[in-house]
Amino acid sequence: MAEKVLMKGNEAIGEAAIQAGCKYFFGYPITPQNEIPAYMAKKLPKVGGCFVQAESEIAAINMVYGAAGAGARVMTSSSSPGISLKQEGISYIAGAELPCLVVNIVRGGPGLGGIQPAQSDYFQATRGGGHGDYRMVVLAPSTVQEAVDLVMDGFDIADMYRNPVLLLGDGMLGQMMEPVEFKERKPRQLPEKTWAATGWKGDRPRSVINSLFIDPAELERHNIKLQAKYDTIEKEEVRYEAYNTEGAQVIIASYGTTSRIVKNVIDDAAREGIKIGLIRPITLWPFPKEIFAKVVGQQTVKAVLAVEMSLGQMVDDVRLAVNGQKPVYFYGRTGGMVPRPDDILRQVKMILGGEA
């Protein structure tokens, strides 16, 4: 077993990437993720890699496109406004089917907003803030350890499917320290990157990294191919945690750091004889629909409550998953405010009391 170390979320993300074999990082400063580029600037040269501070988030994501197309494991990170700027680039990466890891340590918005933790980029993350029919795999860790594990898995998923993967954290996750362990992982069987542009010696077809299909029939074929890939991902890569769900009266849907607060609420509620269950999506896309359908079907369950640090974004996916079986409620804080356990519990009681 590897040694446990106490690390900041942001730094742990950087270290996990390096241990996953990521040698290239292109980024631009923005709070609250600045420790990621700083860590990479310090460490990458020592592993024969390269850190480049790009002139902007747009340049950074396009450098990622170049490095990914050249066959490298590569990463960028930013926070909300910076991620908005990357949307065109992300759409290109998805369109050209390149693997990479994008990290969004979310802060309050819209606009310049604030710098405190938020989850208000859920729509952007899961629906593609960019143009066209594409999807990113969205991983939402709730602890620093999980962030480390998901960074490593994320690179594998990206390479497996030739698709960008987004790690969605928030300022709290990025700034906090927790013990982490960098575990030995058994490597996933990954396809070779025969498609990469590495210089053409005639021993394989010429590599052309591209997302232009001027003939609409061709573009549709490409889109359908992408869709088939997304279907496979929806089948193979769904992850979630179902906690205390059996016989629960209310199911709370919550992800990331917010779900940790919900766990406190579950304990508090238990003391008062209220049974709350938690479904914590770990992949926000693909969304764990089936477990909702299943858990919510229980007789005991009166309602579902989505708790988010936003004004209601994941709640759409929860409603889609629940599909009218049970009422779905929402409670959220936003702008950098973090839900308090007692307020969440009050919501649950209101729901059970028929007041919500």
Partner 1 sequence: MVKVFEKPKALTDKPFHYCPGCTHGIIHRLVAEAIDELDIQQKTIGVAPVGCAVFAYDYFNCDMMEAAHGRAPAVATGIKRVHPDKVVFTYQGDGDLASIGAAEIVHAATRGEKITTIFVNNAIYGMTGGQMAPTTLVGQVTATSPYGRQPEIAGYPIRISEMLSTIEGAAYIARVSVHDIKHLMQAKKAIKKAFEIQIKGKGFSIVEVLSTCPTNWGLTPIEALNWLKENMIPYYPLGVKKDIDGGGE
Partner 2 sequence: MNEQIIIAGFGGQGIMLMGQLLAYAGMLEGKYVSWLPSYGPEMRGGTANCNVIISDSPVGSPIVTEATTVIAMNRPSLDKFENSLKKDGLLLINSSLVDRQAERKDVRSYYIDANDIANQLGNLKVANMVMLGALVELTGIASIKTVLESLKKVLGPSKQHLIPLNEQALERGGLRVK
The residues of the shown chain that bind its own copies, judged by CB under 8 A, are 58, 80-81, 83-85, 87-88, 91-96, 106, 108-116, 118, 120-121, 123-124, 127-134, 210-224, 226-227, 310-311, 313, 316, 319-320, 323-325, 333-337
Peptide bond into 32 cis (omega under 30): yes
29 touches, from ligand TPP, its own copies, partner 2, none (C-beta below 5 to 8 Å by class) = ligand TPP
To partner 2, the closest distance from the beta carbon of 276 in angstroms equals 13
DSSP code of residue 336: T
| Binding to partner 1 in span 3-32, by CB under 8 A | 24, 26, 28-31
**Neighbouring-strand partners of residue 6:** 179
Choose which of 21, 29, 66, 312 interacts with ligand TPP (CB under 6 A): 29
The answer to whether 182 and 300 have CB atoms below 8 angstroms apart is no
Q: Say how far apart CA 140 and CA 308 lie, in whole Å.
A: 13
- Give the nearer residue to ligand TPP in terms of CB position, either 109 or 288: 109
The answer to whether 81 contacts ligand TPP (rule: CB under 6 A) is: yes
Which SS3 state, helix, strand or coil, does residue 26 take? strand
* Helix (H), strand (E) at residue 175: helix 171-175
In angstroms, give the least distance from the CB of 178 to partner 2: 5
159 pairs with which residues across the strands? none
Q: Which of 30, 83, 160, 322 binds ligand TPP (CB under 6 A)?
A: 30
Contact call for residue 82 and ligand TPP (CB under 6 A) = yes
Structural tokens at position 276: 């709350």
Please give the Cα distance from 19 to 227 (Å, whole number). Answer: 31
Asked whether position 85 contacts ligand TPP by CB under 6 A, the answer is yes
Binds 216: which of its own copies, ligand TPP, partner 2, none (CB < 5-8 Å by kind): its own copies
Please answer whether residues 73 and 23 qualify as being in contact, where contact means their C-beta atoms are separated by less than 8 angstroms: yes
**C-alpha triplet 337, 342, 346: angle, nearest 5°:** 110
- The verdict on 37 binding partner 1 (CB under 8 A) reads yes
